[in-house]
Amino acid sequence: MALYTTIHLHNVATGRDAEYASWFDGAHRKALAGLRGLTAADRYEVTPEQIMRDIPQPWRYLSIYDFDLPDPALDVPALGPLIADARDRGLIADDETEKIYTYRMYSDWKGSDNWRRDEPLSGVSIILGNYVPGRAAEYHKWYDEVHSVEVINVPGHVAMKRGELSPFQIEPRHYCPGDQLILCAQQTDDLNLTIGDFSARAGGRSPSGIAMQPRSASGSVARTVHYFRKVSGEKFWPGGIAYAGDLSAYGRG
């Protein structure tokens, strides 16, 4: 068995956001139940809070599908027609932004003491990144032993997992700018505070007195970072309350 994660970056057709949400948590989840090895499927929406404020955020929505697969060559492509159903219904915006990428994960979530495992996530951030050619071993050592530990111990950040672009991809295939995927999970009701302290620790000016080590030169600057809040299934609420449904029902839409 092997861990794989598929990310679906997309926009929804104008005026059909509620219909898409209903499709995902209704017909789509029923169809997903027939897939071998699926362990989780959730939707996220881009947040106004971002750590790299000067880069584009072309995708409003992100869906993440996690698998533990016996035969990825056979099972990864089986997700394609289920996503295509939304396209066929006209739910996905035809604006050339839709991207679907599958990664072979190096491991499952690596968590810190911040992680309240009995509570849902509030959101995730993704990095589509790369390492400098010829420096893969140095890059992975830095992430595994140094940077992952620094990141998941920032208040509000709770866990990380990483992977590399898989040879098994879902149609329609598009160029992927990031051979490396870094997924970071959050549990916070103040993402601005989390991002602010992350940035301060990286710059050595956090009130906590904690300073991150310099970024490894093995990590390419060809990377993008995107923060999303969870909008499907069970969601995070301040104080650790879990609830389901549309955020607007709680005055937080």
Residues 98-129 pLDDT 10s: 999 999 999 999 999 999 999 999 999 999 99
Q: Which token pair is 226?
A: 């995107």
Residue for token pair 């149609």:
171
With bands split at pLDDT 50, 70 and 90, how would you rate the model's confidence at 252? very low
Q: How many domains does the chain have?
A: 1
Cβ contacts of 31 within 8 Å, gap of 6 or more: 82, 85
Cβ contacts of 29 within 8 Å, gap of 6 or more: 41
Q: Decide if 138 is inside a domain.
A: yes
Cβ contacts of 149 within 8 Å, gap of 6 or more: 112
Cβ contacts of 196 within 8 Å, gap of 6 or more: none
What kind and span of H or E run contains 195?
A: helix 191-203
Q: Decide if 224 is inside a domain.
A: yes
User: Range of 154's domain?
Assistant: 2-248
For residue 102, the model assigns a pLDDT of 98
Q: Distance between CA 207 and CA 176 in Å, rounded? A: 38
Are the C-beta atoms of 127 and 170 separated by less than 8 Å? Answer: no
The arithmetic mean of pLDDT across residues 138-150, rounded, is 98
Q: Which token pair is 111?
A: 């968590």
pLDDT one-digit tens code per residue, 179-210? 999 999 999 999 999 999 999 999 999 999 99
Kindly report the pTM of this predicted structure. 0.91
Centre a 10 Å sphere on the Cβ of residue 26 and count the other Cβ atoms it contains: 10
Cβ contacts of 32 within 8 Å, gap of 6 or more: 38, 41, 65, 82
For residue 233, the model assigns a pLDDT of 75
Question: To the nearest 10°, the Cα dihedral for 227, 31, 68, 149?
Answer: 10
For residue 231, the model assigns a pLDDT of 96
Q: Which token pair is 142?
A: 């830095």
Mean pLDDT, all residues of the chain: 92
CA distances from 59 to 11, 47, 212 (A): 6, 11, 30
pLDDT one-digit tens code per residue, 5-20? 999 999 999 999 999 9
Q: Decide if 28 is inside a domain.
A: yes
CA distances from 162 to 103, 116, 126, 147, 232 (A): 9, 20, 10, 12, 22
pLDDT one-digit tens code per residue, 40-63? 999 999 999 999 999 999 999 999
Q: Distance between CA 227 and CA 190 in Å, rounded? A: 13
16: amino acid identity, one letter: R
Specify the CATH number for the domain of residue 234. 3.30.70.100
Q: Distance between CA 202 and CA 215 in Å, rounded? A: 8
Q: Is the model's pLDDT at 149 over the cut of 50?
A: yes
For residue 37, the model assigns a pLDDT of 96
Q: Decide if 141 is inside a domain.
A: yes
pLDDT one-digit tens code per residue, 227-247? 999 998 765 444 443 334 433
Q: Decide if 253 is inside a domain.
A: no
